[in-house]
Structure 1
Amino acid sequence: HYVVRTAGLFGQGGRNFVTAIAERALRGEALRVVGDQICQRTYAPDLAAALLELAVTPVAFGTFHVTNEGAGSWYSFAEMVVERLGREVALQPVSTAEWAAPAWRPAWSVLSGARWSRVGMTPLRPVEEAVAEYLESWLATRPT
């Protein structure tokens, strides 16, 4: 069997971090975002393409980590979204302790895609490219 682990999933069809930040940035709201948790993000269509590739490629069973290239804090990810929108909003990093989320999150949750690449699978593109594509699509289809 295959196990595919991913992180920070975003894409059309529901609320996610990118959409939440974009909506607030477009309203000009000040943003407080956790700056001490480092992880990766995954664009849903890129993950879907990777899963299809895995389904038709003869590779040994096992666990694969599949995310878009690039890791950073939630704060740096919010910066990327805001910059891509061309907005100037107050963006403040806060600690995990200050945020006091209902669910615990690790400070470091970067997944290594080394095995994915080692077996010849196509690496996912940089997260910046995925965010640009997602925001373009989201902006074109969101209700105003």
Structure 2
Amino acid sequence: MTATTTTAPVSSTGPRRWLVTGAAGMLGTDMVARLRAAGADVVGLRRADLDVTDPSAARAAVRGFDVVVNAAAWTAVDDAETHEPEAFAANATGAANLARATHAAGARLVQVSTDYVFDGDADVPYAEDAAVAPRSAYGRTKAAGEWAVRAEAPDHLIVRTAWLYGAHGGCFPKTMARLGAEKDRLAVVDDQVGQPTWTADLADLIVRLVEAGALSGTYHGTSSGRTSWYGFTRRILASAGLDIPLEPVTSDAFVRPAPRPAYSVLGHDALRAAGVAPIGHWAERWERAARQVLT
């Protein structure tokens, strides 16, 4: 399976009508806000507004739009281990329905995906065309969604992301800042490495990809650089004005139902080839985001 194609977008210039699914979520909220700030014609649909697992509802929803950003997903990683059919319905069947609907409507589909499609065993950044080998139910369902989009929507952008945080929902920084205020010390995993990524930055990247007329294919939407959860927590506590002992531990100290990738660093070569600048360094972007996220 290749990660990029030579398929050109249906329309790469001129005004567009945007539809954002999952608009009440952390990314969906920032996606709608980014588009409205730019004066774009955008409609956001929440889960209550659109059931993406309903093919007829998907067809009706995308009619008249030029770009559909699918931020609707089952994101409860641990719960997916015991509810894989439900996660598959949202992450794979829903993606397939939107892919068929956007293709029929002549619209471009942006499918948001995840680092969990990889095995996490690498020691260099995963390329866009690296083989997928998910180890969790969540990863399997998102990989199936990618496959469906490639099969059903020739005009697509699959944008994988990881370690998302934002102002409009629960996220790692908010949790660690709360725990740091409640406890005398914290132990945090130091053997999982990734790229903390602000949802506002991901929303901006998606808009820039579409506006650049990027060829259909797979792109990685994460911050640059890398750190561990321990390293990220040090920055979070500093931003929150908290000074408590912080202990680095291994993943064995926090066993979860779904396995976490040990290495979630994604490469950005496809973005550069499309003439689109990757998101900046994670630490610099966190400094910009911290006040909005933690207040």
TM-score by length of 1: 0.89
In the alignment, which of 31, 38, 56 is matched to residue 193 of structure 2?
Answer: 38
What CA deviation, in whole Å up to 9, does each residue of 1:75-116 have, x standing for no partner? Answer: 111111112233211111111112112210121111001211
In the alignment, which of 240, 245, 261 is matched to residue 85 of structure 1?
Answer: 240
How does 1:1-144 map onto structure 2 within 5 Å?
1-139=156-294, 142=295
What CA deviation, in whole Å up to 9, does each residue of 1:41-68 have, x standing for no partner? Answer: 2100000001111121122110001111
CA displacement at 1:135 relative to structure 2: 2.0
Question: CA separation in 1, counterparts of 2:264 and 2:288?
Answer: 24
Which consecutive unaligned segments of at least 5 residues does structure 1 have? none
Question: CA separation in 2, counterparts of 1:72 and 1:54?
Answer: 26
Give the share of equivalent positions with the same residue, in percent: 33
Question: CA separation in 1, counterparts of 2:184 and 2:219?
Answer: 38
- Paired AA for residue 45 in structure 1: A
- Paired AA for residue 164 in structure 2: L
SS in 2 for 1:132: helix
Which consecutive unaligned segments of at least 5 residues does structure 2 have? 1-155
- Paired AA for residue 222 in structure 2: T
Looking at CA atoms only, which structure, 1 or 2, has the larger radius of gyration? 2
Question: CA separation in 2, counterparts of 1:23 and 1:135?
Answer: 14
CA displacement at 1:28 relative to structure 2: 4.7
Question: CA separation in 1, counterparts of 2:284 and 2:169?
Answer: 20
- Paired AA for residue 126 in structure 1: H
Question: CA separation in 2, counterparts of 1:7 and 1:50?
Answer: 14
TM-score by length of 2: 0.45
Question: CA separation in 1, counterparts of 2:216 and 2:184?
Answer: 47
Aligned-residue CA RMSD in angstroms?
1.5
Greater displacement, 23-32 / 13-22: 23-32
* Structure possessing the higher relative contact order (Cα contacts under 8 Å, 6 or more residues apart): 1
Contact 2:209–2:276 (8 Å) recurs in 1: yes
Aligned length: 140
- Paired AA for residue 19 in structure 1: K
